[in-house]
Structure formats: C-alpha cells, structure tokens
Amino acid sequence: MSSPYIAQQPVNDFSLRFSDQKYTATLAASTDTSLTVPSNAKKFKVVMKAEADASVYVAVNATAAVPAGASFAASTSELIPVNGVLCREVDAADVLHFITAGTDIDVSVVLYSIDTISGI
C-alpha cells in the first residue's frame, strides 16, 4: 500500500487505509525487542500503539532505553503516548527497538509505504 506524501504532512491514524504490513508483540519487562522495517519501499509511515496504562519507549537504529533518573539526559528513545499514537517516518531496513519496564505489554506497529514527490 502506498500513500502520496507531502513534506510536513501531519500524520495520525485517522482515515488511513488498512495496511497489509501489521506487526504485534508482547514485550517482556526490560527486554529490548526489535523489528526490522521491510525493504519493499524506500520510506514508510510507522504507526505505533501500546497497551493502555503502559510506558513503552521506541528508538530507531539504537537500543531503546527507559529513563534512568530524575534529571534530563540525552536518550535514544521516545515515549509512545499512553492511549495514544506515535507516527514517524522511517526508511527501509531501519530497525525499531521497543522497551518497557512493565510486564507483558502489547505493542502494535503498522507500516504504510509512502511515495515522495521528489523521489527522495
């Protein structure tokens, strides 16, 4: 499935067509779990959701990490909003890494290949 893409296009999961590239996993506590983005397109929108009331962090091409202290520090990871959606653009063969401090947390990842107008 391919969607036209315009730079700075806002993205959420409303009105997106069903994708044929859906992945799910149940995360174990403190265990990095990865998913390699397929190579059947150059770029993808990746829509990520986590089970309600769970803190799940995601990183691309780096090991995911949960926060380690009370002060701000540089991180490889981004929090998937609780009861929300995180959508980012990724390239083919990127590796998404997920981690949680919780136990048996379900995560959903849906990929949408995108066509870029400039061919980038």
Inter-residue contact 87 to 47 (CB < 8 Å): yes
Q: How does the average pLDDT of the chain come out, rounded?
A: 87
What is the pLDDT, as a whole number, of residue 72? 94
- Report, in this order, helix, strand and coil percent for the chain, each rounded to 5: 0, 45, 55
Residue 1 scores a pLDDT above 60: no
pTM recorded for the entire structure: 0.83
Integer Cα distance of 105 and 120 in angstroms: 35
Integer Cα distance of 22 and 102 in angstroms: 23
Total domains in the chain come to 1
| 51 or 17, higher pLDDT | 51
Integer Cα distance of 108 and 49 in angstroms: 5
Q: What single-letter amino acid sits at 102?
A: G
What is the pLDDT, as a whole number, of residue 3? 53
CATH of the domain at 14: 2.60.120.770
Rg (CA), the chain: 15
